[in-house]
A and B are shown apart, each in its own frame.
Chain A
Amino acid sequence: MASQHDENCRGVFALLSDYLDLELPPDACAEVETHLADCPPCIEFAESLRKTVELCRRYQPAEPPEPLGQQARGELLAAYQKMLAGRKTA
């Protein structure tokens, strides 16, 4: 990969997220796959990028929010009920 290796690698490098997200047009997708089939460094890099995305998707927050207090819930409920009342009288 990288310019000293092959300009094709640089072109594929720019398309990898679209490729992983299945958002490439068919011809561009075929080009990426043809390149990857013959370029182990690009495969290795693409795999690490795919795993980065996978880590984001599996991310579970360490800290949930504090439980909702009665006053805060009351404010939200009042806003909801006011919206409903306004809609009925409109």
Chain B
Amino acid sequence: MEHGIETDLARRLMAGDAEAFDRFVEHFRAKVFQYSRLMCGHREDAEEVAQDTLLKVFESFDQLREPERVRQWVFRIAKNACLMKRRKSVFAPARELSLDEFLPATSANGGEVRIQIADWSSLPDDQMQQREMKGVLEAAIAGLPETYRSVVLLRDMEELSTAETAEILDVTADVVKTRLHRGRLALRQKLDAYLRAGKRPAAPAGGIGGG
């Protein structure tokens, strides 16, 4: 759903238009559920976070001054709900990722330097491979330290801007950029390792059908 439609729904809810209620709930419940399932790692926690978030959203809806900022406002509440949930579960120590750990290994062949990298040529358009990579991607996201995971989810999955993500997470735009780059590099490294291991079955001749 476009930002414009979300803004319109928020405006209608503020005006007391009850018809917008179910659409708003359906839309943001699914988004918050996805975010919190990948943040918290548990389906049950994610269902609770989605409900807690929407309750808080409706209780304080009159505090949303700018309807066009509804998405970051909802995600800010969701982020806090996730933090509350996390405190009740396993405590994961913070870990900093350094750029150096993601530099690819190189090899020299004659005068030519090559990096050791998998064949990414069929991604992401090969639908079968894309489906297969979904589980690898989820595991890679789950393996990210929490501060990097939240940035990747907001920037690359929810497609929020750097400024919006910074506002949600209470950090500067530069911190968002640093964490996003390192988070992406960590995901790339995991996906590359998977592709290099060659675990996927060979595609049948003639290509793969859609679906």
Q: Which A residues fall within an 8 A CB radius of B?
A: 1-6, 10, 13-14, 16-18, 21, 23, 41, 44-45, 47-49, 51-66, 68, 72-73, 75-77, 79-80, 82-84, 86-87
Contacts and interface: CB of A to CB of B under 8 A. Distances in A.
Contacts of B58: 76, 79-80, 83
Contacts of A57: 156-157, 159
A76 B61 CA distance: 12
13 contacts: A1-B104, A2-B105, A14-B99, A23-B177, A44-B115, A45-B104, A52-B187, A55-B133, A64-B33, A65-B29, A65-B33, A65-B50, A79-B59
A5 B37 CA distance: 41
B104 A79 contact: no
Contact of A56 (B25, B55, B187): B187
B124 A41 contact: no
B179 to A, nearest CB: 10
Interface residues of B, number: 54
B188 A48 contact: yes
B171 interface: no
B114 interface: yes
Given A2-B105, A41-B114, A49-B184, A63 B55 contact: no
B103 interface: yes
B115 A1 contact: yes
Interface of B: 13, 16, 21, 25-26, 29-30, 33-34, 37, 43, 46-47, 50-51, 54-55, 58-62, 99, 103-106, 113-115, 117-118, 120, 123-124, 130, 133-134, 137-138, 152, 156-157, 159, 162, 177, 180-181, 184-185, 187-188, 191-192
Contact of A82 (B59, B105, B137): B59
Contact of A63 (B37, B105, B118): B37
Contact of B103 (A13, A49, A66): A13
Contacts of A48: 117-118, 120, 188, 191-192
Nearest to A60: B134
Contacts of A84: 16
Nearest to A90: B62
Contacts of B59: 79, 82-83
Contacts of B16: 84
B21 A80 contact: yes
Contacts of B26: 68
A18 B181 contact: yes
Contacts of B60: 83
